[in-house]
Amino acid sequence: MSDVVAGLRGARLSKRSLEVLVLNEGDVTSLLDLHELLDGLADGFRALSAGEVTAPERNAIAMPGESILLSMPGVRRGGHMTVKVVTVFEDNYDAGLPSHLATIELFDPRTGACVAFMDATYITAIRTAASAAVATRMLARNDAKVLTILGAGVQGLNHLRVFPLVRDFEEIRIGSRHYEDAEALADQHPTAHAVESFEDAVRGSDVVALATHSGEPVIDPDWVRPGTHVTSVGYKPPRGELPRELLEQGSLFVETRLAFEPTPVGCAELAGLDGNAAGELGEIVLGTRPGRSHRDDITIYKAMGHIIEDIVAAEIVHRRARDQGVGRTVEL
């Protein structure tokens, strides 16, 4: 008899469908408020340094041609379980697709049910730039007036969107290997202009944002004047865009000291450096570690990319979508 009851109960449960909110890139873009994202990321970094985020090491599947698939799971205390899957296929440009494609799933922490599935290509791009902007808000001099952005691709565009939200820049210099790309990006902002020489773009700048896809350093440490804040979000083998000599001269900050682990967990650019000497952004928020100590300090933020950034962005999008009735509900 008990087997019959159990079978009936199982049948009833099996008839219940799961409703998943599906959000496309247009939905996500319209819902993600940039000011809320910046504040949310700062609190997310605080939670990360405070031990309130559980995030297993991300793992990768290597594909031909240096293409990869990365899986990044994580949960912040009291929030949704989150998994982001991102692929990096450089040859996608030839097919008219972004090189980075991503999706995010949110799961109910009480039942394990999937509650949302959303495009994360825009989230990945904007949260990367926004995290660098948060670091700039924390570390750049308050009177910083000149911003240089090197790289005129997706990250260059998103840096141009968010960096002016954290400082009142009077001049924005744009540099690119292809000058016409720098000109096109500069047209997107009234105080921006293209600069042909990377050296000319960097010298005299207060904030230098590296957003290239270069496998070799794109700046010389001698170009960076005292008091400058430098951010770097790109990495490509063998050495990446950020010169090692500058890392050793300045005060280095990261999202988490996992950045010093071997890839794909950490950043290859940081291999062999002492992680204990670097600060975490969350430690600045917590007040357990100083940010800029002196006006003439060179401060450096090296991005690794962490699931907390995706959690922050995805939960903003999910909450706003429910409040505004945006998206499409699918029954599984």
Q: What is the average pLDDT score of the chain?
A: 93
Per-residue model confidence (pLDDT) at position 272 = 85
CATH fold group of domain 18-123+308-331: ornithine cyclodeaminase, domain 1 (3.30.1780)
Does this model's pTM top 0.85? My answer is yes
Residues, the chain: 332
Looking up tokens 């260059």, which residue turns up? 156
pLDDT-derived band at 266, boundaries 50, 70, 90: confident
User: Is the CATH number 3.40.50.300 carried by domain 131-305?
Assistant: no
The candidate with the shortest Cα–Cα distance to 86, out of 75, 64, 96, 71, is 71
- Strands 67-76 and 53-54 turn out to be antiparallel
Tokens at residue 94, please?
Answer: 């030839």
Residue-wise pLDDT tens digits, 145-202: 999 999 999 999 999 999 999 999 999 999 999 999 999 999 999 999 999 999 999 9
pLDDT band at 8 (very low <50, low <70, confident <90, very high): very low
Report the alpha-carbon distance of residue 168 to residue 145 in Å, rounded: 6
Q: Where in the chain is the domain with CATH 3.40.50.720?
A: 131-305
Whole-number Å distance between alpha carbons of 123 and 106: 14
User: What is the identity of the amino acid at 113?
Assistant: A
Would you state the pLDDT for residue 269? 85
Residues 6+ apart with CB under 8 A from 19: 115, 329, 330, 331, 332
pLDDT for res 80? 98
71-96: average pLDDT? 94
- 296-302: average pLDDT: 98
Provide the sign of the torsion angle of the four alpha carbons 49, 53, 56, 58, taken in this order: negative
pLDDT bin (cut points 50, 70, 90) of residue 240 is confident
- Per residue in 118-144, pLDDT tens? 999 999 999 999 999 999 999 999 999
All CATH 3.30.1780.10 domain ranges in the chain, comma separated? 18-123+308-331
CA–CA distances in Å: residue 19 to residues 25, 80, 105, 114, 214: 20, 16, 13, 8, 43
Share of the chain above pLDDT 70, in %: 95
Residue 309 has pLDDT above 50, yes or no: yes
